[in-house]
Structures are given as structure tokens and as C-alpha cells.
């Protein structure tokens, strides 16, 4: 049980994960737009920073003799303005000012806005109401009007413009940060910190703030461009930078009067504003994309509608005639980064009509991926089926075309998932959803479909079905919703129902009823059930046969009573021994030492060898087959238990 | 067993919502916990079972002072816990601690394990650097984790390891009572056993008292000395674990035990019985279990049953007008 020994292996496990997930910087540089933005931005910033060092004429010295020189004039690369000042020099110095003002305004707005957001979100109640109503008041004014009013009150000038821009941006930060803070403050680690004796201030700034910081940075990177634009706007109106000082907005303003006679005077600062804001926004978007955790996990790489099947896969012949589902040698892999995760590594299983097969195993053992592979529901990328066949009667599900899979989904093969809310649409009534499921596969009149829907609800023992058809999913209890999902699965005379932990989220009393219901329905409709669960008690309740999975493969299979009473695989034995059983409180619980191997780095030989007390040298080499072990039973083990206890 | 009660809860109630709007319209209120009275004796494990939404976690939060009751009294070691929690939450946190359901969510993702475990040592015990270092070593040893783990971040741990860190955090201040709110529900069965065994060892070693909350009857049976069964915010039945599981007196406990899946047992429950919980905003009069109860009569609708002693060896109480006979064993 000790993890003192596991320390090393945990450290090793950590590294592949890092390699598997693209690093933040690499992700950023993969984004061409963001990299371009960054390059332009760096060039502009370097030029602005180097202004005092560059051999530039004084930006404010007027020279009436040289006024309005065109670009590329002698000694004035970008020409001169109406007062004969060098435009290149004014542009670089002006950019420096605009950048400084934009950045300071962003920092001020971010500081006060985030502070308000943090305090309001954490304190809640009256403090929240008070602060957020204040913020709402600021937001109630049109944006630019408020800025104008502030500058009017304080008097024109660059610093006052900076304050005005900062103030009008505070609400944006405050609202964003408050939302995040509210979510975080309800998290358990905040309660844990409180019970560790931390004061509210220590929790807010020591626990919550570090988690909010990425959001603050994202918000800053996406607003700084706007702030520069807004400052330029105020300067353009003559309310920001005062002559002779140059900033991009005032340069644009100066050029306005001579737009037709000397367009370069306004076009050049205009282009600079464009380049600056554009580069900041492109880069900011790139930063946001890499910091967003949903993107990191690859959620934006849109998966295709059906799991990819590898070209080199060869169909396997059917093994069990008379079975409704016959899966042979199924392999499903995930390709992430440079790693290959063999989530399912050669699974065989078969179901007769009306039979219920349970698949048990620990989290990550590949139960769900096995089930989802059958109808192509594993997301691609990163998933792909690399070998094997799944015979639904005479058809290989991995060979048929997409149209045929679409017809079969929800008809011949249907699913019931753990969370009924993920199956039911919140905005449609139960009746709408049931009739849609029926009519999608069998064209009929709406009134006929309604009748059929009512019949289905009656089938799953929902009382008063006509009334229930009119309600929305949220108006039903969890158990009722799961009944509706089962009704949907039965809507088109399913031959196989794949139920993935259908009762795990339910209370025991409700679970017991759903199990009885499924058990009765499969006898009535003769549908076969592939029942995925981690609970041996649940398996006993409904499954005729059981298959135990470990690290992506079936390690033992047979009739439920037999496997449970006399497990042959050491893993099955251990797994049974470590669950408390109702009615046997004195039973000693035997934990299984260590943890399952990660499926991107499976050992040679038996995957369970590192944790197995019966392991011998021959267990660690070669492929260990799932060998027949008595009537209707098979075990993947070289030294199976023969009736004695698992830890004998 | 010593009969001194370490924790006494007397008629505790926690109502959420309620009050009135600006215009005087009454706002809906939910009684999450209602008229709950129970005590926890020094050195025992009190198991609390019940289905989702029955008020288990609310009760747990009241006991550790994370929430306050809207009525009733809670005393810890003879002192008013609610007043203490308000005046000096740290003093209470030194004696009563909490282990959360979700091991990963209860650890701040941006803190190292060292920072997480040092917080109670610093803020509750005021230990200096060397004192903290020594205690950290002890704690990691107690939950069977290698000291190298201290400088890692929570996401590097499996669920079972993370939960052991959560337990170490609760142990840090050397408390007397630990409230465990579904401590193994988020864990795989193989890992669940590790954590249960560690909890068992720590209890004997440090003389701890546990309040162990779970929806899993077999887990509760295996750890508890006494058990309280909750339904709809109230205690339906309370008594010695052995008696509750062998001879439940409340029809709800009866149903729970009959429903629990047991390896080797095929399902027996009729599949169309009513499982609807009463509407919490609009609770029925009388017994909340009436709509589902096979034994209900008119009096159950009219009068709420009080928690009363039913005959039995030790204090075994049930809130029912027509308790199941003593002979009514669940497992034939
Ligand atoms: N979309 C995915 N991308 C990458 N890897 C995945 C994906 N889905 C599953 N996996 C990996 O495949 C393996 C098997 O996962 P699977 O979901 O089948 O486990 P399970 O047995 O159903 O576990 P649980 O009991 O937690 O539901 C795991 O290593 C998992 O991390
Ligand atoms: S093959 Fe060997 S290591 Fe694997 S389970 Fe059997 S005895 Fe143990
Ligand atoms: S009081 Fe009546 S309705 Fe309630 S549990 Fe007892 S018998 Fe059933
Ligand atoms: Mg799963």
C-alpha cells in the first residue's frame, strides 16, 4: 500500500504526460498569426524604446522652411509636417508615448478592476451588490461620452486622458474577474484553506488570486490594443497630448486639416496605429488561445462524426454464429503528441439476443472506449480503431459506410449513458425528443409517433405518460430522466443496448429500480445489453456473464456467479477482496498495491505482473493469451487461482 | 464504550433561502437540515447515510463551523460550537477538521503539497520552521506517502494519493474530531480500500473520533460503530451499526438495505415503485416518506413522527409511527 516505493514510478509517469501535451510556448509559436503579431510588436516596441539612442532630430523643433516635405526627402525619411517637424522622429517618439499611456491605463484598469472583481466575487452579499451596482453605473454611460466628461472635468492633458481611459475600462475587468472569482470561491480548496486557519485576505490573495491571474493576463492582452486606440481618439480630439508633444492620436489630428494636400502627414501615424493595434490584438488572441485550458486539451480540433478506422486494418471473421454482436480483436488507440495510448488492446466479446454482458474494471481500464468504438463514437482525433471487427449480425460495423452507421445509431444499436442530462436536450419536451427519435428512423405521422412515445413511457413504467410527454427534462428527477433515456434507447427496437454506467449517478433505491427495469425489458424485447460498470454488486444484479478489463484488455470472462464465487485471475480476486460487502462488516479489505500501468507504456508480458503476488519470471515476457478455462470461461493468466483465495 | 459525548447536536436546523422580497413577497425556503439531534461519543465512528440531497453535507459543514445553523444548538466538548466558531474559528479548527469528497478539488492546483500542508501548521499551531519541517515528515509518514511528494503539485497525484494528502491536511493540527464527507466516493474500489485502511489505522493511533458520511451502505457498515440514517433533512433512524444493518426498524432504512447491490445477489426490487422525493420547497405534512412507504397510515400524514426509542439492546431510535418489527430481517 505504501507509495514510498511508488514515488519513483510516479515521477516517471509525469514526464511522458509533459511530452504528450504540447507546451504553452510551442503552441503559441505554432499559431502563425500570433507569431507575426508578436514580431511586428517587438519591432515597434524596440524602436520606441530605442528612441533616445537613435540618430533622430528633435521631434518638437519646428522648421517653417522645410514644411510639408514628402517622404524620402533629403534628411527626412518620412517627410515633415505642417510645422516642418521630422515625421519619423515624431512617429517614434509618439509611438513611445502612446504605448506608455496604453500600457499604464491597462495596468491601472486591471489593478482596480480586478481588485473590485475579486472582493465582490469573494465577499458576495451586500459588498458584491454595492460594488457591482457602482460598476453598472459606470457602464450605463456611453463609453466615449464618459471619457469626454472625465477629461472635461479634469482638464485636457495626456495624464488626464490616461485616467479617463483607465476608469472607463475598470468595469470590464471587474465583471470578468468577479465571475471567475465567484466560481473559485465555492471550490472546496477555499473551504480547506479556511479550515487551515487562513484569514479571508490570505485566502483571497494567496489561494484565489493565483488561479485568477491567467484570466487577468488574458483580459489585459485583449484590451491593451483598445486602450491605445481610445487614447489616440482622445488625443485626436485635442483632449489628450497637448502640443508640441507628439502621440499617435495628436499626429493624426494634426494631419486631418491637410488630408488632401499632404496625405502622408495623417496616413503615416494612421498606419502605425493600425500596425500597433493589429499586432497587439493578434498576439493577445494567441495568448488567450494557449492559456485557455479547453484549447490545450485539443477541444478546438473538431472531431469528425465517426471514429477513424485505420486503412491497414483487416476484417476479422466472425467467431460466434448466432450472436447478435460479435467483437473480434478490437484495438483502439489515441495518438497524442508523440505517444500512442493503447486504450483498447485486443478485446473479444459476444452477445446473444436478450443476453446481458457486464464489463467491469477500474477507471481508465478502457471500458468506455471499448463501448464507444463499436458505433464510432470515440473522438477522432486523437482516437482511431487500428484493428479488429465488430459484427452486428452479418455486418462489420467498422467496414460499413457512414450513412449506414447513421441509420444504425439509435436504432439497432442504442446507448444509455451515465448522465441522462447529456442525452436529453434541456429546451425540448420529453415528448418532442421521443417523437423525434422515433421519426428519425421511421417516417410516420406525428400523431402516430405521439402514441408510440406514450407507449414507450408506459413501457419504462412512468405513470401518467400522456402528461409526462409535455414536461421538460429539468422537471423530472434523476431516476425519471434515466427512464426516459432508456425509453429512447428502446424507441426503434434496438438489438443491442450499450449502457455505460447507467446507474452510477443515481441513488441506491433508484438504482435498484432502474436495474430491475433494464433486466425486465431485455427479457420482454429480447435486446442484448452491454452493461458497463465498476460495481460487482450491480453486475450480480443484472448480468448473465461478466468480462473483467485491465489496462485495455479482458483478463477474465465467464458466468457472473462463477467468476464472482471463484475468480481465476489474480486481479479479479483482488478486486473482489477490496470492496466492502453489505452484511460482512468484519471483512478485511485488501487493497491492491501500486496502480495500473499507463497504456502508452505497457510492460512486456502480463500488465498486472508488477502488482501480482503470483507473478513468476515467465509472466514478464511474451503475449499472454486469453485461454479457455473450463466451460464458457477464459482467463489471461499463466498461473490462475484454482479455487483458493486470491492472496493465498 | 465510554459514554461521554464529544459532540452534541440538539435540534439543529439550517434553512436556505427564505426571507421576503422588497415588496414583502415570501421567498421560497428549503429546510436542508431540520430538527436533527444526535451525539457523537469520544473515540467512536458515527456513520451518516442517506441519499443525495438529504442534508448530509449541510450537517457536516455545520459541525466544522463552515456554516451556521439557523436554529438549534451544537456543543463540542461542553462548549457552544457555533459561538466559538464565530469568535475564534482557528481554535475550533484545531479541534475539529474536515476531509472533502473530491480529493483533487480540495487541493489548490497552484500550490505545492508543502504549501498546502504548512498552512494549518503555521496558522493553527504557529509552528516555526524547524517545527513545521518535523511535523510535515510525520504527517507524510502517517498517510504513507514519500516525503519527496512534498514539492509536487496536486495534478501530479492519483485520486487516492490526493485524498491521503487531504487526510494529512486534516490531521496536521492534531484534531480530536474529523468529519469525513464521502471521503472514498470519488475513488476507484482498489484505492478506496487503501484509504479506508489508512483511516482506520490513524483512528487508533491518534485516538480520533470520526463522523463518516457516505451514501455507500457497505462502506458505512464496515467503518461505523453507530449509524444515523437521514431522509429529507431529518434523522430517520439512529443506533448501533450492527442493529441498524441487521434489524432496521424504519421502513426507509429497510428499503435502502434491500436496494443496495450486493455481489452475488440478483435484483429483487419491484421496478415501478415510487422513488420521487418530496418537493423540498413544498414539503408534505407529516412523514416525508409517506408517499413511498408500504406501512403508511392516516396518522403518518397528519403527524410528523418523532425520533423515539424502539426496543433494542442499546439506544436505537427511529422516527416512525409504525416501525418494522424486530424480526423483520432484511437478509433472509
Ligand atoms: N478522448 C480521449 N483522448 C485521449 N485519451 C483518451 C480519451 N478517452 C479515453 N482516453 C484514454 O483511454 C483509456 C481508457 O479510457 P476509458 O474511458 O475507456 O476508461 P473507463 O474504463 O471507461 O474508465 P471510467 O471507469 O473512469 O469510466 C484511458 O487511458 C484514457 O485516458
Ligand atoms: S500472468 Fe502472472 S503476473 Fe499476470 S496475473 Fe497471472 S500470475 Fe499474475
Ligand atoms: S411514519 Fe408512517 S409513513 Fe412514515 S415511515 Fe413510518 S410508517 Fe411509513
Ligand atoms: Mg467510463
CA distance A520 to A257: 86
A372-410 pLDDT per residue, tens = 999 988 888 788 899 999 999 889 999 888 888 888 888
A312-327 pLDDT per residue, tens = 888 888 888 889 999 9
Cα dihedral across residues B168, B172, B177, B180: positive or negative: negative
pLDDT at A411: 87
Give me ligand 2 centre to Cα A555, in Å: 10
Coil, strand, or helix at residue B32? strand
Cβ atoms of B244 and A518 closer than 8 Å: no
What CATH number labels A354-365+399-554? 3.40.50.300
A210 and B98 within 8 Å at the Cβ level: the answer is no
Q: Tell me: cis bond preceding A381? Omega within 30 of 0 counts.
A: yes
pLDDT band at residue A496, thresholds of 50, 70 and 90?
very high
- The whole model's pTM is what? 0.82
A7 and B267 within 8 Å at the Cβ level: the answer is no
A362 and B105 within 8 Å at the Cβ level: the answer is no
pLDDT at B199: 93
CA distance A48 to A100: 10
Give me ligand 3 centre to Cα B274, in Å: 15
For chain A, say whether B98 makes contact (Cβ under 8 Å): yes
The atom of ligand 3 lying closest to the CA of B300 is 2
Cβ atoms of B121 and B172 closer than 8 Å: yes
A599-642 pLDDT per residue, tens = 888 888 999 999 899 999 999 988 899 998 888 899 999 999 88
Question: B19 to chain A: which residues are within 8 Å by CB?
Answer: none
Question: For residue B36, what is its C-alpha cell?
Answer: 436533527
Query: What is the full per-residue pLDDT of chain B (332 aa) written as tens digits?
Result: 446 789 999 999 999 887 776 677 777 788 889 999 999 999 999 999 988 878 888 999 999 999 999 999 999 998 999 998 889 999 999 999 999 988 888 999 889 999 999 999 999 999 999 999 999 999 999 998 888 889 988 888 888 889 999 999 999 989 999 999 999 988 888 888 888 999 999 999 999 999 999 989 999 999 999 999 999 999 999 999 999 999 899 999 998 998 888 888 776 666 556 666 777 778 888 899 988 888 889 999 999 999 988 876 668 999 999 998 865 544 43
Give me ligand 3 centre to Cα B287, in Å: 6
CA distance B268 to A239: 82
Q: Which ligand has the nearest atom to the CA of B320?
A: 3
Q: Could you tell me which of B15, B153, B167, B41 has the C-alpha nearest to residue B97?
A: B167
Please give the full DSSP string across A426-443, using - where no structure is assigned. TTS-HHHHHHHHHHHHS-
Q: Which ligand has the nearest atom to the CA of A367?
A: 1
Average pLDDT in chain A? 86
pLDDT of A479 strictly over 70: yes
pLDDT at A4: 45
Cβ atoms of A563 and A546 closer than 8 Å: yes
> Residues 198-257, chain B: which have Cβ within 8 Å of A?
198, 215-219, 221-222, 241-242, 245, 255-257
Report the residue of A193, A197, A480 to disrupt the B interface, i.e. the one with the largest count of B CBs within 10 Å: A197
Cβ atoms of A535 and A582 closer than 8 Å: no
The verdict on ipTM greater than 0.90 is no
CA distance A293 to A251: 41
pLDDT of A120 strictly over 50: yes
| Segment (H or E) for A99 | helix A87-123
Question: For residue A70, what is its C-alpha cell?
Answer: 514628402
Residues forming a β-bridge with A347: A330
Cβ atoms of A387 and A592 closer than 8 Å: no
Location of C-alpha cell 400522456: A466
A450-473 pLDDT per residue, tens = 999 998 888 887 878 888 888 888
Q: Looking at chain B, which residue has its C-alpha nearest residue A14? A: B156
pLDDT of A83 strictly over 90: no
CA distance A348 to A34: 48
Please report the domains of chain B, with CATH numbers, ordered by start residue. 5-224 (3.40.50.300)
Fold match between A26-49+76-296 and A354-365+399-554?
no
Indicate left, alpha or beta for A230 from its phi (over 0: left) and psi (-120 to 50: alpha).
alpha
**What residue spans define the domains of chain A?**
26-49+76-296, 354-365+399-554, 556-647
CA distance A20 to A9: 17
pLDDT band at residue A14, thresholds of 50, 70 and 90?
very low
pLDDT at A12: 37
B242 and A363 within 8 Å at the Cβ level: the answer is no
Higher per-residue confidence, A431 vs A67? A431
The atom of ligand 2 lying closest to the CA of A612 is 8
What CATH number labels A26-49+76-296? 1.10.3720.10
Ligand 1 pocket: which of A13, A296, A333, A366 to mutate (most atoms within 8 A of CB)? A366
Q: Could you tell me which of A168, A160, A162, A176 has the C-alpha nearest to residue A115?
A: A176
From the CB of residue A263, how many other CB atoms can be counted at a distance below 10 Å?
12
In Å, what is the CA distance from B76 to each residue of A273, A400, B34, B70? Answer: 67, 68, 19, 18
> Residues 259-288, chain B: which have Cβ within 8 Å of A?
259-273, 275-277
Give me ligand 1 centre to Cα A189, in Å: 26
**Ligand 3 first shell, C-beta below 6 A:** B 251, 287, 289-290, 293, 295-296, 300, 305, 320-322
Question: B45 to chain A: which residues are within 8 Å by CB?
Answer: none
B118-154 pLDDT per residue, tens = 999 999 999 999 999 999 999 999 998 888 889 988 8
pLDDT of A445 strictly over 70: yes
A151-180 pLDDT per residue, tens = 889 888 889 989 999 999 999 999 999 999
Q: Which residues of A118-155 are buried (b: 16+ CB within 10 A; e: fewer)?
A: bbbbbbeeeebeebbeebeebbeeeeeebbbebbeeee
For chain A, say whether B151 makes contact (Cβ under 8 Å): no
Q: What is the mean pLDDT of residues A47-67?
A: 85
Q: Looking at chain B, which residue has its C-alpha nearest residue A213? A: B110
Q: Could you tell me which of B91, B85, B84, B100 has the C-alpha nearest to residue B124?
A: B91
Amino acid at each position: 500500500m505504501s507509495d514510498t516505493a511508488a514515488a519513483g514510478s510516479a515521477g516517471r509517469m509525469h514526464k511522458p504526460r509533459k511530452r504528450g501535451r504540447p507546451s504553452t510556448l510551442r503552441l503559441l509559436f505554432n499559431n502563425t498569426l500570433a507569431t507575426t503579431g508578436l514580431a511586428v510588436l517587438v519591432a515597434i516596441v524596440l524602436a520606441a524604446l530605442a528612441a533616445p539612442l537613435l540618430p533622430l532630430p528633435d521631434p518638437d523643433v519646428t522648421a517653417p522652411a522645410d514644411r510639408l516635405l514628402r517622404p524620402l526627402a533629403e534628411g527626412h525619411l518620412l517627410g515633415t509636417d505642417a510645422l516642418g517637424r521630422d515625421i519619423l522622429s515624431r512617429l517614434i517618439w509618439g509611438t513611445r508615448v502612446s504605448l506608455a499611456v496604453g500600457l499604464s491605463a491597462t495596468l491601472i484598469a486591471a489593478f482596480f478592476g480586478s481588485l473590485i472583481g475579486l472582493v465582490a466575487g469573494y465577499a458576495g452579499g451586500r459588498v458584491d451588490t454595492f460594488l457591482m451596482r457602482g460598476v453598472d453605473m459606470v457602464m450605463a454611460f456611453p463609453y466615449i461620452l464618459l471619457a469626454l466628461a472625465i477629461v472635461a472635468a479634469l482638464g485636457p492633458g495626456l495624464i488626464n486622458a490616461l485616467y479617463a481611459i483607465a476608469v472607463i475600462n475598470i468595469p470590464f475587468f471587474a465583471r470578468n474577474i468577479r465571475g471567475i472569482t465567484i466560481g473559485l470561491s465555492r471550490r472546496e480548496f477555499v473551504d480547506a484553506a479556511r479550515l487551515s486557519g487562513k484569514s479571508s485576505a490570505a485566502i483571497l490573495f494567496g489561494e484565489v488570486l493565483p488561479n485568477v491571474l491567467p484570466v487577468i493576463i488574458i483580459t489585459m492582452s485583449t484590451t491593451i490594443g483598445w486602450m491605445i486606440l481610445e487614447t489616440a481618439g482622445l488625443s485626436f480630439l485635442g483632449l489628450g497630448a497637448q502640443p508640441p508633444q507628439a502621440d499617435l492620436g495628436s499626429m493624426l489630428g494634426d494631419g486631418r486639416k491637410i488630408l488632401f494636400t499632404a496625405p502622408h502627414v495623417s496616413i503615416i501615424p494612421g498606419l502605425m496605429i493600425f500596425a500597433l493595434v493589429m499586432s497587439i490584438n493578434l498576439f493577445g488572441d494567441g495568448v488567450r488561445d494557449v492559456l485557455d485550458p479547453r484549447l490545450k486539451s485539443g477541444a478546438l480540433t473538431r472531431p469528425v462524426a465517426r471514429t477513424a478506422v485505420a486503412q491497414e486494418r483487416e476484417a476479422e471473421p466472425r467467431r460466434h454464429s448466432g450472436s447478435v454482436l460479435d467483437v473480434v480483436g478490437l484495438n483502439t488507440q489515441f495518438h497524442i503528441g508523440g505517444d500512442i495510448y493503447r486504450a483498447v488492446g485486443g478485446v473479444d466479446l459476444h452477445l446473444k439476443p436478450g443476453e446481458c454482458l457486464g464489463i467491469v474494471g477500474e477507471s481508465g481500464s478502457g471500458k468506455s472506449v471499448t463501448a464507444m468504438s463499436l458505433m464510432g463514437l470515440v473522438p477522432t482525433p486523437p482516437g482511431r480503431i487500428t484493428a479488429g471487427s465488430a459484427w452486428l449480425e452479418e455486418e462489420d460495423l467498422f467496414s460499413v459506410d457512414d450513412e449506414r452507421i447513421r441509420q444504425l445509431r439509435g436504432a439497432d444499436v442504442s446507448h444509455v449513458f451515465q448522465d441522462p442530462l447529456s442525452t436529453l436536450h434541456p429546451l425540448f419536451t420529453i415528448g418532442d425528443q421521443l417523437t423525434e427519435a422515433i421519426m428519425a428512423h421511421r417516417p410516420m405521422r406525428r400523431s402516430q409517433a405521439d402514441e408510440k412515445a406514450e407507449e414507450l413511457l408506459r413501457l419504462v413504467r412512468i405513470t401518467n405518460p400522456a402528461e409526462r410527454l409535455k414536461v421538460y427534462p429539468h422537471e423530472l428527477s434523476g431516476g425519471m430522466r434515466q427512464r426516459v433515456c432508456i425509453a429512447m434507447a428502446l424507441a426503434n427496437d434496438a438489438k443491442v443496448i450499450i449502457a455505460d454506467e447507467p446507474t452510477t449517478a443515481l441513488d441506491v433505491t433508484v438504482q435498484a429500480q432502474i436495474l430491475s427495469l433494464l433486466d425486465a425489458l431485455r427479457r420482454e424485447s429480447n435486446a442484448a445489453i452491454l452493461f458497463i460498470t465498476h460495481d460487482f454488486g450491480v453486475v450480480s444484479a443484472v448480468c448473465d456473464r461478466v468480462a473483467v478489463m485491465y489496462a485495455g484488455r479482458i483478463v477474465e470472462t465467464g458466468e457472473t456467479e462463477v467468476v464472482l464465487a471463484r475468480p481465476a485471475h489474480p486481479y479479479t480476486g483482488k478486486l473482489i477482496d477490496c470492496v466492502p460487502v453489505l452484511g460482512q462488516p468484519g471483512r478485511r479489505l485488501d487493497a491492491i498495491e501500486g496502480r495500473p500501468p499507463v497504456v502508452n507504456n505497457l510492460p512486456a508480458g502480463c500488465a498486472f505482473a508488477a502488482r501480482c503476488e503470483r507473478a513468476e519470471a515467465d509472466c514478464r515476457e511474451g503475449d499472454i493469451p486469453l485461454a479457455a478455462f473450463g466451460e464458457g470461461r477464459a482467463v489471461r493468466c499463466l498461473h490462475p487461482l484454482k479455487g483458493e483465495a486470491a492472496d493465498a | 464504550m465510554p459514554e461521554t459525548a464529544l459532540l452534541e447536536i440538539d435540534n439543529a436546523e439550517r434553512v436556505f433561502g427564505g426571507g421576503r422580497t422588497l415588496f414583502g413577497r415570501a421567498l421560497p425556503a428549503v429546510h436542508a437540515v431540520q430538527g436533527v439531534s444526535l451525539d457523537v461519543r469520544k473515540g467512536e465512528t458515527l456513520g451518516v447515510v442517506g441519499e443525495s440531497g438529504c442534508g448530509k453535507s449541510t450537517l457536516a459543514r455545520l459541525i466544522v463551523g463552515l456554516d451556521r445553523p439557523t436554529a438549534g444548538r451544537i456543543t463540542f466538548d461542553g462548549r457552544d460550537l457555533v459561538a466559538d466558531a464565530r469568535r475564534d474559528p482557528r481554535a475550533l479548527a484545531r479541534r475539529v477538521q474536515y476531509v472533502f469528497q473530491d480529493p483533487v478539488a480540495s487541493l489548490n492546483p497552484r500550490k505545492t503539497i508543502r504549501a498546502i500542508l504548512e498552512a494549518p501548521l503555521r496558522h493553527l499551531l504557529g509552528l516555526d520552521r524547524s517545527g513545521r519541517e518535523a511535523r510535515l515528515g510525520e504527517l507524510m509518514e502517517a498517510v504513507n506517502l514519500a516525503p519527496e511528494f512534498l514539492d509536487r503539485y496536486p495534478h501530479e497525484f492519483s485520486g487516492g494519493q490526493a485524498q491521503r494528502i487531504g487526510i494529512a491536511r486534516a490531521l496536521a493540527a492534531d484534531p480530536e474530531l474529523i468529519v469525513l464527507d464521502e471521503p472514498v466516493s470519488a475513488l476507484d474500489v482498489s484505492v478506496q480500500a487503501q484509504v479506508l485502511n489508512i483511516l482506520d489505522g490513524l483512528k487508533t493511533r491518534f485516538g480520533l473520533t470520526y463522523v463518516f458520511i457516505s451514501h455507500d451502505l457497505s462502506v458505512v457498515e464496515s467503518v461505523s460503530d453507530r449509524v444515523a440514517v437521514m431522509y429529507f433533512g431529518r434523522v430517520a433512524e439512529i443506533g448501533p451499526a450492527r442493529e441498524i444493518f441487521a434489524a432496521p426498524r424504519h421502513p426507509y432504512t429497510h428499503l435502502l438495505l434491500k436496494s443496495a447491490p450486493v455481489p452475488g445477489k440478483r435484483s429483487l426490487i419491484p421496478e415501478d415503485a415510487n422513488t420521487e422525493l418530496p418537493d423540498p420547497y413544498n414539503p408534505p405534512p407529516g412523514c416525508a416518506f409517506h408517499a413511498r412507504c408500504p406501512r403508511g397510515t392516516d396518522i403518518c400524514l397528519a403527524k410528523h413522527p418523532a425520533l423515539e426509542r424502539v426496543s433494542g439492546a442499546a439506544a436505537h431510535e427511529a422516527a416512525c409511527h409504525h416501525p418494522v418489527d424486530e424480526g423483520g430481517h432484511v437478509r433472509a
